Amino acid sequence: MIKKLIRKILGTKSKAARDANTPVVLGPEAHGIDPRLLSNNAVRVTSTLQEAGYEAFVVGGAVRDLLLGVKPKDFDIATNATPEQVKRLFRRAFIIGKRFQIVHVMFGNDLLEVTTFRGTTSANAPKDEHGRVLRDNTFGSQAEDAERRDFTINAMYYNPANQQVLDYHGGIEDIRAKTLRIIGVPEARYREDPVRMLRVVRFAAKLKFSIEPETGAPIKVMAPLINNVPAARVFDEMLKLLMSGHALACLQQLRKEGLHHGLLPLLDVVLEQPLGFKFVTLALESTDARIHAGKTVSPGFLFASLLWHQVLEKWEAYRAAGEQTIPALHLAADDVLDSQTEKLALQRKIGSDMRDIWAMQPRFERRTGKAPHKLLEHQRFRAGYDFLLLRCASGEIDAEIGEWWTAFYESDEASREDLISSASQPSGGGNGGGTKRKRGPRRGGRNRSGGGRGGEGGGSDAGGSAPSHDGGGD
């Protein structure tokens, strides 16, 4: 009924009757895009290309967001100019990519991605034994480009010059109906690029759209194809998913669709354990809250949180085998990072941040002498402290430890000395907190992690010592 009303208002044809080579043209009154939401640099790129005699449009997720009344985070441009022709028109332009060449155009720190219209001759493109396209630099028309895009809601083109939207596959209908629909035969599209299955999950969770039944049906069966995708591509997509502002919903959807295996091994086991589930939930809720507030989030802090209970399990195993607490923790961290680096292509900087956060945790139990002052000077202290608060909030360790460090962190020098003199020696002489880690949370403690600070250390790194890390885009 809703779709019929939309077609009546917009004068569109049904999907079956629509000519895929002829777009529905929507004017400003029909689509309702506010031109003020456009990036000046995106308009600059399209106008420069058009003045040089080429076609140029804002495309993809930016058009989708504009139609939803949201200011896009990134602006992509599609054109009939080749990468070399685009590069010649801009002072700071760089051709990148092997699978399909694109151009990055820079204006200060603002990066815009310019893509030449793709052709539909992918049948002859090199593929692996599972059908995944390895390289495809075939150019084509705008209609062919629209057919090659993944979802109907991402296959619309906006021309800032005349404020028209070109819609080839009923994307406007699906946006109004809040439906996520893949273009073409789902099985074939997923086989060409299995990462599309992760994108289905991300967009559905982020936009709160329902997945069209035919689009969702093959995912559970075809989920193992993700294992054939280069680890770097999987990591990039996972980072976008976790930095989407809807990380918890995305992970829940991943589990529902059977896509989590191989991405974050054992995470499904962690989420089935009460303490692990609460810890991960608090970390992701904090991350989502920071992103919605426009704050930065560190990938290192986020992945340290997601993989912490794997470290805990291995840490206990090494200690049970006779290793001392600190060496056992380093061995556990090595095991987890080695495994995840191979599967997720974790960057060295992210792995280093994760290791620092984990290694600081036993040191928080040393609250006498000069140890607290030395730890406070650590350049990653705030990240480690925020991680400690997550552990307290989840019930993994006593809330009193986090309360003491909060008071120490916020106090003047005299008050800090009083706190140190009144602190009792931790159980086990400060060598790890194995007994405390098994103790339940005390009632009445301040629970500051869940209020947004739990991801803050990763975001600002955060007391100001180390640079922040911004997340991936759309």
**Which CATH number is 310's domain given?**
1.10.3090.10
Same domain, 15 and 61: yes
For residue 54, tell me if it sits in a domain. yes
Residue 325 has pLDDT above 50, yes or no: yes
Q: Which of 144, 159, 177 lies at the terminal end of a domain, its last residue?
A: 177
Active site residue 174: no
* Prediction pTM value: 0.72
56-105 pLDDT, tens digit each: 999 999 999 999 999 998 999 999 999 999 999 999 999 998 767 899 99
Same domain, 144 and 253: no
Same domain, 172 and 191: no
Same domain, 346 and 442: yes
Residue 443 has pLDDT above 80, yes or no: no
Same domain, 172 and 189: no
pLDDT at site 81: 96
Same domain, 81 and 190: no
For residue 97, tell me if it sits in a domain. yes
CATH number of the domain at 207, please.
Answer: 1.10.110
Tokens of residue 420, six digits: 């140190």
Active site residue 76: yes
Q: How confident is the model at residue 411 (pLDDT cuts 50, 70, 90)?
A: very high
Q: Which has the closest alpha carbon to 424: 402, 401, 391? A: 401
pLDDT at site 269: 62
- Please report, for residues 49, 192, 316, 392, 440, the alpha-carbon distance to residue 196 in angstroms, rounded to integers and kept in the order given: 30, 9, 38, 38, 42
Same domain, 390 and 432: yes
For residue 241, tell me if it sits in a domain. yes
Q: Which has the closest alpha carbon to 133: 142, 118, 123? A: 123
Active site residue 150: yes
pLDDT at site 100: 77
Q: Which of 177, 211, 230 lies at the terminal end of a domain, its last residue?
A: 177
CATH number of the domain at 143, please.
Answer: 3.30.460.10
Q: Which residues pair with 158 in a beta bridge?
A: 58, 165
Lowest mean pLDDT among 72-76, 126-130, 206-210, 291-295: 126-130
The sign of the CA dihedral 335, 341, 344, 347 is positive
**Residue of 74, 236, 268, 335 marked active site:** 74
Which residues constitute the domain of residue 18?
2-177
Number of domains in the chain: 3
341-398 pLDDT, tens digit each: 766 778 889 999 999 999 999 999 999 999 999 999 999 999 999 999 999 999 999 9
Same domain, 210 and 173: no
Same domain, 305 and 330: yes
Give the count of beta carbons closer than 10 Å to the beta carbon of residue 470. Answer: 11
Same domain, 423 and 314: yes
Pick 327 or 242 by higher pLDDT.
327
Order of strands across the sheet that contains 56-59: 24-26, 164-167, 156-159, 56-59, 76-79, 110-116, 102-107, 93-96
Same domain, 17 and 86: yes
Rounded percentage of the chain residues whose pLDDT exceeds 70? 78
For residue 296, tell me if it sits in a domain. yes
Q: Which of 151, 177, 203 lies at the terminal end of a domain, its last residue?
A: 177
Same domain, 337 and 443: yes
In the chain, how many H helices and how many E strands? 25, 10
Give the count of beta carbons closer than 10 Å to the beta carbon of residue 241. Answer: 24
Please state, rounded to an integer, the average pLDDT across all residues of the chain. Answer: 82
**Residue of 65, 136, 145, 150 marked active site:** 150
116-164 pLDDT, tens digit each: 999 875 555 555 655 565 555 688 899 999 999 999 999 999 999 999 9
pLDDT at site 346: 81
